[in-house]
Amino acid sequence: MITGGSAGLGKGLAFIYAKRGARIVLVARRLDQLVAVQKQCYALGAKKVDVSVCDVRDADEMSKVVLEADTEQPLDLVIANAGVLSDTDGLHGSKRVLDINLRGSLNTVWPILERFAARKTGQVLFMSSLGAYAPATNAFMMPYLASKAAINQFGGGLRTVMKKYNVGVSVACLGMVESELTMKQLQGQYKAELMGLMTQERGCQLIVEGVDENVGVITFPLWLYVVSRALGSLNSVLSDGISPYLQDGDPFGKIDNVHPIFKQ
């Protein structure tokens, strides 16, 4: 099962599993795009492809979708992929971002955990970002990075909790990978410079390889992981001292000019 399966990384992951002949359940809000991905998955060799139109923020509906899919045929892997950036500034848009990225991810995973534990098999994959390790240096990205930092903590803890039930939990902490979010919004709409941009196909392949090996934290590229962890480990005095320089070099900083927090 893949949420956010109508586009971006969700679609890319679906294609890889389709080539393996898997049964796939795609969840998203846009039926037309879901159907398009469904057809492509069948063409690539998927055994069965079900689509469900659902908003991950709706806990009751997500529980129904997950459990009905699992009842029809037990799920092996649930991927909490659905995610968004702010559609306004980083303060006023924060509730929507946190609701979809964080609460939506939990709504996707919670329903299946008891069944996975009872069967003593299954895997969960959370989608996160390397940016979650470093302090946000612009308002626009604050809620997105906050949601991903929370996912890192929850996913890491859940991995430990579920280990005794033989259930794997992975968190994919990524750099820039081609997706609807990066290409259409960050690069297309805001003209942001995306450092180290990776193709969707390559990024999804690395994620799947990590899931296959039940890696706890799937990270790439290595250089950005090292930089992010280093910046995130600074104490507040050092962080305050270099924050102006980080802001000057932040490729997303100019988005704050498009969406100012406060009216002047």
Task: Give 174: exposed, middle or buried? Use CB within 10 Å, 0-12, 13-18, 19+.
Answer: buried
DSSP state of 105: H
Please check the confidence at residue 190 and state whether its pLDDT lies above 80: no
| Per-residue pLDDT, 96 | 96
- Give the pLDDT score at 180: 80
Question: Tokens standing for 226?
Answer: 């090292």
Contact by Cβ (8 Å): 65, 52: yes
| CA dist., res. 149 & res. 105, Å (int) | 13
3-state secondary structure of 10: helix
Split at pLDDT 50, 70, 90, the class of 264 is low
Give the global pTM.
0.93
Angle (CA) 16 17 18, round 5°: 90
pLDDT in tens, 11-39: 999 999 999 999 999 999 999 999 999 99
- The size of the chain, in residues, is 264
Q: Are 148 and 128 in contact (CB under 8 A)?
A: yes
Does the pLDDT at position 7 exceed 80?
yes
State both tokens at 184. 């259409």
Give pLDDT tens digits for 209-246: 999 999 999 999 999 999 999 989 988 888 888 887 77
DSSP characters over 167-181: -EEEEEEE--B-SII
Domain boundaries, the chain: 2-258
Whether the per-residue pLDDT at 251 is higher than 80: the answer is no
CA gap 201, 129 in Å, rounded: 17
Question: b/e per residue, 136-146, with b = 16+ CB within 10 A?
Answer: bbbbbbbbbbb
| Fold that domain 2-258 belongs to in CATH | Rossmann fold (3.40.50)
Report the share of the chain in percent with pLDDT over 90. 76
pLDDT at residue 58 in the model:
98
Quote the CA–CA distance of 120 and 131 in Å, as a whole number: 33
Give the start-end residues of each E strand in the chain: 2-3, 23-28, 48-53, 77-80, 123-129, 168-174, 217-220
Residue 144 or 251, more confident: 144
Instruction: Collect all residues with Cβ–Cβ distance below 8 Å to 142 and sequence separation of at least 6.
Output: 90, 91, 94, 136
